[in-house]
Amino acid sequence: MRGRYTIAVLPGDGIGPEVTAEAVRVLESVGRRFELEFTLDHHPVGAAGVATAGEPLPPATRAAVLDADAVLLGAVGDPRLDHEPRHKRPETGLLALRALLGVYANLRPVMVHPALAFCSPLKPDRLTGVDLVIVRELTGGLYYGEPRGTEDGGAAAVNTLRYTAAEIERVARVAFELARTRRRRLLSVDKANVLETSQLWRDTVTRLAAEYPDVTLEHCYVDYAAMRLVSEPASIDVLLTENMFGDILSDEAAVLVGSLGLLPSASLGAGPGLFEPIHGSAPALAGRNVANPIGAIGAAALLLRHGLGLAEAADAVDDAIRGALAEGCRTRDIALPGVDGLGTREMGERIAELVQRPAARQPATLSPGASPRS
C-alpha cells in the first residue's frame, strides 16, 4: 500500500487536543507500517477558533478542510462561552463545519468489547452480540431549520423542523447500503404518529426499500427505539434516524459500551469526510492526561476506512485497539474501581505500538455474533 494524503487536524477544545494527539500518533504509526505519507496540518476550531481568530470556524480553517482528503476533529465546547451570542459559540463552529463539508450521513458504530461488559450498567446478558451502527442525518432538521430565534423580546423562541424527501433519501441510501455489508437489517426511527416530517421520512424510506429487497426494513417510533436500545440492543443492526433523534439515541447507545470515551463517528457527504469521537470537550478532564483516546483513535480508523478507502490500514488500527483492551490496557473511565489505569498518552502509545505488530491480532476477543469486517 502506498499513497499520499492531506488530513486537516482540528483538535478543538478541552480534551480535544489530547485525544487528537494520540489519534495522530496512531496515524503516523500506520503511515510507517503501510508506507503511507500523511500531511497532518493543525487548524483551530470551536473556542480555539474564537481565541485565535474571533470566530469558531475561522476562514483559514474553512479553506484547509475543503482542501483536505479528510478531516480529523477532536471536540468543541467551552462553558466560558455559554453566554456568548450564538455566532461566537464553539458548537456553532461545528454545525457550520458539517454544513460546509455537506456531511449529511453520520455513522456511529457501537460494539461491546467483552472485556468491558462490566463497565456498562446493563446486565451482561443484554450486551452479548451488540454490534450496531446508528446512521444519523446530520445537516438538516431542527439543527438547521429556518426560521429560528427568539421572539417577543425573549418571551418566546422558535425552531423549525423541516425535511425534504431528497434529504431523507440520500441518507437512507447510505443506511441501506451499509446494512447490505452487515446483517441486512434496517431499523428506521421516526415519530410518524405525531410529526409530518416523520411521515415523510417513513414514506420515503418505505419507497426506497423496493430497491433493496435483500434488506429487511422495520420502522419504529423514537420513544420505543429508546427503550429497545437498552432492552434488546443486540436485535439492532443499522438504525437510521433524523438529526435530533440521532443525537439523543447515540448518547444512549454509548451506555451500552460503558464509556462515551470509546465511541468514534464518521460524517460523510460528497467531499472530504469528518471524523471525530462522539464525546464532548469534557473541560473537567482537560489537560490532566486522563481522557480516553480510544474514541479519537477509532475515529482515525474510520477516517482510513471511509475517508481514504484504506481498509487494511483501518483493520490494523481496530485490531490494535482490541489488542490493547485484551491485554488489559485501561484508562480511568474503563478501569475497575480503585485502579488508576493508564494515561491518555500511555494508551495512545501502546495502540500505536500494536499497529506495528500484525501478530497482535486478537480475533478471539471479538464480541460473539460480530459480523466479519470487510
Catalytic center residues: 143, 191, 223, 247, 251
Q: What 3-state DSSP class applies to 322?
A: helix
Quote the least distance from Cβ 93 to ligand IPM, whole Å: 9
Q: How far apart are the first and last CA of the chain?
A: 17
Choose between 31 and 141: whose C-beta lies nearer to ligand IPM. 141
Residues 274-303 close enough to bind ligand IPM by CB under 6 A = 278
Q: Which residues contact 172 (CB under 8 A, 6 or more apart)?
A: 188, 204, 205, 208, 240
CB nearest Mn ion: which residue?
Answer: 247
Q: Are 259 and 330 in contact (CB under 8 A)?
A: no
Query: Which lies closer to ligand IPM via its Cβ, residue 29 or residue 259?
Result: 259
Q: Report the residue number, 252 or 353, with the smaller CB distance to Mn ion.
A: 252
Q: How far is the CB of 262 from ligand IPM (least distance, A)?
A: 15
What is the distance between the alpha carbons of residues 71 and 266, in angstroms, rounded to a whole number?
A: 10
Q: How far is the CB of 247 from ligand IPM (least distance, A)?
A: 4
CA R_g for the chain: 20
Look at residue 237 and give the partner it binds from Mn ion, ligand IPM, none, a contact being a CB closer than 5 to 8 Å depending on partner kind: none
For ligand IPM, how many residues bind (rule: CB under 6 A)? 4
- Report how far residue 145's alpha carbon sits from residue 252's, in angstroms, rounded to the nearest whole number: 24
Helical residues (DSSP H) of 4-152, grouped into ranges: 16-34, 47-53, 59-67, 90-101, 124-127
Q: Is 247 in the site for ligand IPM (CB under 6 A)?
A: yes
Closest separation in Å from C-beta 350 to Mn ion: 28
Closer residue to ligand IPM in complex, CB, 70/215? 70
| Number of other CB atoms surrounding residue 255 within 10 Å | 17
Separation of alpha carbons 89 and 82, rounded Å = 7
Q: Which does 94 bind (CB under 5 to 8 A by kind): ligand IPM, Mn ion, none?
A: ligand IPM
Query: Contact between 94 and ligand IPM (CB under 6 A)?
Result: yes
Count CA atoms closer than 13 A to 349's CA, side-chain side: 6
Which one of 91, 137, 167, 190 is in contact with ligand IPM (CB under 6 A)? 91
Q: In what order do the strands lie in the sheet with 185-190?
A: 36-42, 3-12, 70-75, 273-277, 264-268, 105-111, 131-137, 238-241, 185-190, 216-221
Least CB distance from residue 340 to ligand IPM, whole Å?
29
CA-nearest of 65, 73, 66 to 23 is 73
Work out what residue 342 binds among Mn ion, ligand IPM, none; the CB cut-off runs from 5 to 8 Å by kind: none
Q: How far is the CB of 290 from ligand IPM (least distance, A)?
A: 21
**73 touches which of Mn ion, ligand IPM, none (CB within 5 to 8 A by kind)?**
none
Please choose which of ligand IPM, Mn ion, none residue 132 contacts, taking the beta carbon within 5 to 8 angstroms, the exact cut-off set by kind. none
Q: Select 18 or 247, whichever has its Cβ closest to Mn ion.
A: 247
Q: Which residues bind Mn ion (CB under 5 A)?
A: 247
When CB distances to ligand IPM are compared, the closest residue is 91
CB 283 within 8 A of CB 79: yes
d(CA 60, CA 43) in angstroms, rounded, equals 8
Contact set with ligand IPM (CB under 6 A): 91, 94, 247, 278
